[in-house]
Structure 1
Amino acid sequence: MIVDRYYYAQLNKQEQVVYKAFYNGLMAHEDVIPIPIKGQLSKEVFNKIFHAMTRDNPLIYYVNQSACNWATDAFGHTAICPQYFYGRETVRKYNRNIENAVNNLAAQLKLTEGTDYEKEIRVHDWFCKNVKYDFKGSDMDEPARVVLSHNIVGVFAKQKAQCEGIAKAVKVLLNAVDIKCIVATGEAEANGKKEHHAWNVIDIDGSPYQVDVTWDIGASKERIAYDYFNVTDEIISRTHSFEDEMPKCISTEDNYFEKNKLIFRNRSQMITYITQGIAKGRTDFYFRLDGFFNKFKRSELTKIVAKAAMAELNRTVKVQEMPNENVGTYWFRIF
């Protein structure tokens, strides 16, 4: 198991001193945490450290992220006063349950076997099959549900969470099997609306990739979606923007579509893929388009798929489609 503290490494030395003292105090469930610095701690610096703390350490799920205060006395002594969602005994119980859940999943998914890519895709697929997005997880009339949906307990205990809880649970599982994974935060735009969002940056064999498991969960209807699995900065930036500087994600080697040779750059490549698949009895087709081919309208693309299928099957067909034009991925089912 690795401890992947990317955000700690971005802090200066004094901020790291505060981070360590803060972390140790939270782990000990202290009500007042003395900070070994002199002088005032600015709100900006405190928020930076607290933000780093909560993203680096998903196992500190029991701290209220929106109601943590600090104070400096007349002698220049500073202390942080956190608020906890759960008492010590409840945290101990939850920690045991989380540890058991992680160990059981690691065994079930065989996360000690295979390459980093194989481990990663097993984790991704488990989330897409088993975890649901909690659409009521921001309802302030249900505060307990809000807490669960934004941390790892929602995933490991209820298998239901919002993006923050999902991204943090992905980090916990992958870090547990020695794969570097960090939580990325910022904004994402869907249906013309921007909202605060969390996803992951995952290191596979020395190359970082952008991975949004939450959005793949949302797209996994009748299949498992890989639209946002190991994509580059260029692709994720079409819909996402980052709060902080992140590792540069430029490799395409372990992108799902690259890995499985499902990227097509002209019409003939796509038609060959469909006709060969139909000849083998397949009815589902999932691929990504690159280059000028992206300029095709969805209706045109559907007609091309239908025409290729009719030519191969020698009968009329119906085509069900599920496109993601933001990233150029398309899923078709032929009846």
Structure 2
Amino acid sequence: MTSAHVETQPTDQDTPGSGRLAHAPSDHPPVARAKVGVLLANLGTPDATDYWSMRRYLSEFLSDKRVVDYASWKWQPLLQLIILSRRPFKSGEAYRSIWNTEKDESPLLTITREQTRKVAEGLAARFGDQVMVDFCMRYGNPSTDSVLRRMQAAGCERILFFPLYPQYASPTTATANDQAFRTLMTLKWQPAFRTVPAYFEHPRYIEALASSVREGYAAAETPPEVLVASYHGVPKRYLMEGDPYHCQCQKTTRLLREALGWEGEAIQTAFQSQFGPEEWVGPQTVEHVAELARQGRKHIAVVSPAFSSDCVETLEEIEEEIRDAFLAAGGETFTYIPCLNDRDDHIAALLAIIENELGGWVAPRP
């Protein structure tokens, strides 16, 4: 567990060092001293790349009604009997191509842990020992349930829950919140609970994104002619049913373009990771980059503003599948600009958001 806390000073209600309230009977259960918790939440990761690890992870992910909202009687037989008999092999291969072999874990887990460490250090510098910081995953480990229970047991009577998705979407932000609420429903003593809203238009997030693009362009072998902002896709009906994700992605691109001072066609929006038969928001990134190459745009860059951490969708799908589609269509140089990950300006943006959302719960130390 990553944390930025030390025990707070005892109050006149505490018995120092005992974990017991001063006037409680001798058989009263120990009570941890009160803390404020900050819990960062990311999408998730398989524990390993073998068939059964991948199957467990994919089953949890694809059984989520926020991700695939078809009727269970129709979807589960298809998922369990057909899709999960084949897909774990392909997904395992994709994960093996990006796996952090030194730590034997996915890059998403490595990066999220480092983000948490830096956020904890930043909050400790601002608030001293008043705040405890940890992270969880919606799918896989460390699970939302286990970390929330650990924080509550450690004395977190107030918890700020921060899904690390700049743009709100039902299959990302909402399902992360849902999972936290499921745990709260089972706790005898619920902490006060806040969720962090979408931060796609936060000035510090946009500036960190713009800085990463400037650095990517400066390091590129050949100056890119077009920047493609590639976001994870959602079915088009989600937009029709009121999910704001598509609109927030479009606004992110516009704000990024304005921060860079570019003209309209210099940055374009596309969507990746589509599956299934229904219509999804578009254009599809893999098709769009190929079309750019056919139009004579031989040098492009791709950035992923919807991902706070590099993961299989960026390191494998963009760096391999989408890159290959562009080069096969006649493109010459393809520059991938990494996610913001644990960049200092990204951490500063997260800290600014957290401090704002902690308002009234904890005061900066003198």
Q: Shared topology, TM-score over 0.5?
A: no
Higher relative contact order (CA 8 A, sep 6+): 2
User: TM-score, normalised on structure 1?
Assistant: 0.32
Q: Which has the higher strand share?
A: 1
User: TM-score, normalised on structure 2?
Assistant: 0.30
